[in-house]
């Protein structure tokens, strides 16, 4: 909240009412060895005016650069109505309800969100969200292990085209349960279908497919899904939900569809906000819904026949019995889900489709202009959505620094994650980029490469 409403008089009145002399007495069970009198490096408290001035000063240092970065966080336009409604007090201050049925408005919003996500992904049941896309993927891996009872394996086949952060987070979360993520190699920026032959006949609990993948390339989802099911493995889809307005949804991949879909919900009405908060979504087939973590809201009728909403399939140990819980991630990012629900409701099917197509068209335009410059070419020939990997004839970091000096966030240097690619730059263009901004980016890149060529031949 923007201000702290309690005066010292309010605090004293509350302490007196509960029979405690001071706030410190409320926490007297904490040993002295665990308490701190001060935090090193943290300055003394400031007034409201000073804090406000400091925040504005720091915000100004960010400037207003034009963003061509992606890699999991996307600069889409968010209609003003989305957060005007989301920040109303009824939504803004609400938290996950523990007497859920008393919060019918909150439950209805979640129910509407779940219905939209199920329709978008082509699967049966959605939960009420998770922390972010990476932890949603880790939870999907754990869910697949529980759900695939025919498999005796604790291995999951994960292509190297899956987002590096998703793989890293998943490893950190599941390694304590002796679950192994087995790498599947790539070829031309997508999963190497031929490499699947080496795994035929082996026992894997699940196979992962990201669509579009980390490089923005479109995977051969039908072939991989059918192979996985033929081998007795479940299919975990990681999908950018906005792309599903134009791409085949996970529920329709191959002959039977993916079993679980997850990913980052940020593209649906959540601003980038210097890194968060975001939220993770998860949807699955009805047959394995009892293994899904998090809350699920259902629609029903009360004793008078009036419609209402309630939590369903929610085991009590989800909250209080750690060793027997489906998951210990029980909180949903309710405010972000509210924003996404409003965003999807405002845009509708056609609006989401226009955003997706606008992003794809803008990316194609930028790529065509950039690849006409000497020293820049596409890394892969596979079809893309709204991100693409470009290979430069020089290190990426200095190029990005030069672009930043012109007020342009030019992309992501992915050589750290994929050194075998060389000087690789991941560029993303959304519908939020104008033709003039695209032309500015091309002009800046042209100047950078021309100046360097003059120096090289000078």
> Which is nearest to 404 in space by CA: 61, 65, 74?
65
CA 336 vs. chain centroid, Å, equals: 11
Last residue of a domain, one of 316, 342, 368: 342
CATH value at residue 336: 3.40.640.10
Confidence check: pLDDT of 452 > 60: no
Region 338-362 average pLDDT: 97
Phi, psi of 422 (to 5 degrees): 85, -140
Region 334-363 average pLDDT: 96
Phi, psi of 297 (to 5 degrees): -105, 135
Structure tokens at 298: 């259902």
Per-residue pLDDT band at 101 (split at 50, 70, 90): confident
> Which is nearest to 289 in space by CA: 310, 313, 267, 270?
313
Region 201-223 average pLDDT: 98
Terminal-to-terminal C-alpha distance of the chain:
59
Do 144 and 272 lie in a common domain? yes
Do 298 and 233 lie in a common domain? yes
> Which is nearest to 352 in space by CA: 117, 161, 93, 128?
117
Confidence check: pLDDT of 218 > 90: yes
Do 243 and 285 lie in a common domain? yes
Q: Is the residue at 55 inside a domain?
A: no
Summarize pLDDT for 234-267 with one digit per residue, the tens: 999 999 999 999 999 999 999 999 999 999 999 9
Confidence check: pLDDT of 329 > 70: no
Structure tokens at 360: 């794809």
pLDDT of residue 214: 98
Do 328 and 419 lie in a common domain? no
Summarize pLDDT for 14-38 with one digit per residue, the tens: 999 999 999 889 888 999 888 888 8
Summarize pLDDT for 297-322 with one digit per residue, the tens: 999 998 999 999 988 876 544 555 55
pLDDT of residue 96: 61
> Are the C-beta atoms of residues 221 and 239 closer than 8 Å to each other?
no
Do 373 and 274 lie in a common domain? no
Structure tokens at 226: 């059918």
Do 410 and 311 lie in a common domain? no
Confidence check: pLDDT of 217 > 50: yes
Q: Which domain holds residue 292?
A: 80-342
Confidence check: pLDDT of 1 > 70: no
> Are the C-beta atoms of residues 259 and 288 closer than 8 Å to each other?
yes
Cα–Cα distances in angstroms (integers) from residue 350 to residues 51, 114, 364, 435, in the given order? 43, 19, 21, 22
Confidence check: pLDDT of 454 > 60: no
> Are the C-beta atoms of residues 153 and 182 closer than 8 Å to each other?
no
In whole angstroms, what is the distance from residue 300 CA to residue 302 CA? 7
Query: What are the beta bridge partners of residue 392?
Result: 376
Burial class for 167, CB neighbours closer than 10 Å (0-12, 13-18, 19+): buried
Per-residue pLDDT band at 330 (split at 50, 70, 90): low
Confidence check: pLDDT of 92 > 90: no
What's the mean pLDDT when you consider all of the chain? Answer: 91
In whole angstroms, what is the distance from residue 448 CA to residue 158 CA? 38
Region 427-453 average pLDDT: 92
Do 323 and 360 lie in a common domain? no
pLDDT of residue 311: 84
> Which is nearest to 113 in space by CA: 302, 305, 365, 283?
283
Do 167 and 222 lie in a common domain? yes
What is the spatial order of strands in the sheet that 180-184 belongs to?
Answer: 125-126, 280-284, 260-264, 234-239, 206-211, 155-159, 180-184
What is the spatial order of strands in the sheet that 424-428 belongs to?
Answer: 376-378, 387-392, 424-428, 412-413
424: three-class secondary structure by DSSP: strand
Region 283-298 average pLDDT: 92
Summarize pLDDT for 105-157 with one digit per residue, the tens: 888 999 999 999 999 999 999 998 888 999 999 999 999 999 999 999 999 99
Other C-beta atoms closer than 10 Å to the C-beta of 346 total: 15
Last residue of a domain, one of 310, 342, 374: 342
How do beta strands 307-311 and 376-378 pair?
A: unpaired
> Are the C-beta atoms of residues 26 and 20 closer than 8 Å to each other?
yes
Q: Is the residue at 36 inside a domain?
A: no
Do 208 and 320 lie in a common domain? yes
pLDDT of residue 433: 97
Do 240 and 382 lie in a common domain? no
Written as one string, the DSSP assignment of 239-308 is E-GGGGGTSPPGGGSTTT--SEEEEE-TTTT---GGG----EEEEE-GGGGGG--S--EEEEE-TTS-EE
Written as one string, the DSSP assignment of 53-86 is HHHHHHHHHH--PEE---TT-------HHHHHHH
Do 294 and 388 lie in a common domain? no
pLDDT of residue 308: 93
Confidence check: pLDDT of 453 > 90: no
Domain count, the chain: 2
CA 67 vs. chain centroid, Å, equals: 18
Cα–Cα distances in angstroms (integers) from residue 101 to residues 62, 298, 332, in the given order? 43, 11, 16
Which DSSP category does 32 fall into? G
pLDDT of residue 32: 87
Summarize pLDDT for 38-87 with one digit per residue, the tens: 888 878 888 888 888 988 888 888 788 999 999 999 999 999 999 999 99
Q: Percent of the chain scored above 90 by pLDDT?
A: 72
Helix (H) or strand (E) holding 442: helix 435-457
Question: Which residues, in sequence order, are CB contacts of 219 under 8 Å at separation 6+?
Answer: 159, 161, 190, 191, 209, 210, 211, 212, 213
Q: Is the residue at 279 inside a domain?
A: yes
Last residue of a domain, one of 342, 367, 382: 342
Region 159-167 average pLDDT: 98
Query: Helices H, strands E: what count in the chain?
Result: 13, 17
Query: What are the beta bridge partners of residue 377?
Result: 391
> Are the C-beta atoms of residues 273 and 309 closer than 8 Å to each other?
no
Which DSSP category does 66 fall into? E
> Which is nearest to 258 in space by CA: 115, 116, 123?
123
Rounded to two decimals, the pTM is 0.87
Summarize pLDDT for 364-405 with one digit per residue, the tens: 999 999 999 999 999 999 999 999 999 999 999 999 999 999
Which DSSP category does 218 fall into? P
């Amino acid at each position: 909240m923007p201000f702290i409403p309690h005066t010292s008089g309010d605090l004293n009145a509350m302490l007196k009412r509960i029979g405690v002399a001071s706030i410190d007495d409320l926490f007297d069970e904490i040993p002295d060895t665990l308490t701190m009198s001060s935090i090193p490096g943290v300055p003394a408290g400031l007034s409201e005016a000073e804090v406000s001035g400091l925040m504005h000063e720091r915000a100004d240092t960010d400037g207003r650069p034009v963003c061509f970065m992606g890699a999991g966080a996307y600069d889409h336009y968010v209609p003003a109505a989305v957060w005007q409604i989301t920040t109303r007090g009824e939504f803004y201050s609400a938290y996950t309800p523990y007497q859920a049925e008393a919060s019918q408005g909150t439950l209805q919003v979640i129910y509407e969100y779940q219905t939209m996500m199920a329709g978008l992904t082509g699967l049966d049941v959605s939960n009420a969200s998770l922390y972010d896309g990476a932890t949603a993927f880790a939870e999907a891996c754990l869910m697949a292990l529980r759900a695939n009872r025919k498999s005796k394996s604790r291995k999951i086949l994960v292509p190297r085209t899956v987002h590096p952060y998703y793989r890293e987070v998943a490893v950190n979360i599941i390694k304590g349960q002796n679950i192994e993520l087995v790498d599947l190699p790539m070829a031309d920026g997508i999963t190497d279908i031929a490499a699947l032959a080496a795994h035929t006949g082996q026992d894997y609990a699940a196979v992962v497919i990201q669509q579009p993948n980390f490089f923005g390339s479109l995977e051969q989802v039908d072939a991989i899904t059918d192979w996985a099911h033929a081998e007795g493995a479940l299919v975990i889809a990681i999908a950018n939900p906005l792309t599903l307005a134009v791409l085949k949804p996970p529920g329709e991949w191959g002959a039977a569809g993916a079993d679980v879909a997850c990913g980052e919900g940020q593209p649906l009405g959540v601003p980038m906000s210097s890194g968060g908060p975001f939220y993770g979504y998860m949807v699955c087939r009805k047959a394995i819904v009892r293994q899904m973590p998090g809350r699920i809201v259902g629609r029903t009728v009360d004793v008078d026949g009036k419609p209402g909403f309630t939590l369903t399939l929610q085991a009590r140990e989800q909250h209080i019995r750690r060793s027997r819980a489906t998951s210990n991630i029980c909180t949903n990012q309710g405010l972000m889900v509210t924003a996404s629900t409003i965003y999807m409701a405002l845009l509708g099917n056609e609006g989401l489709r226009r955003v997706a197509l606008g992003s794809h068209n803008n990316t194609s335009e930028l790529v065509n202009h950039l690849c006409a410059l000497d020293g820049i070419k596409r890394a892969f020939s596979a079809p893309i959505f709204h991100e693409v990997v470009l290979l430069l004839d020089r290190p990426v970091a200095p190029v990005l620094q030069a672009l930043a000096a012109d007020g342009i966030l030019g992309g992501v240097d992915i050589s750290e994650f994929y050194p075998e690619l060389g000087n690789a730059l991941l560029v993303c263009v959304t519908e939020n980029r104008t033709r003039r901004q695209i032309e500015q980016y091309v002009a800046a890149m042209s100047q950078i490469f021309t100046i360097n060529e003059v120096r090289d031949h000078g």
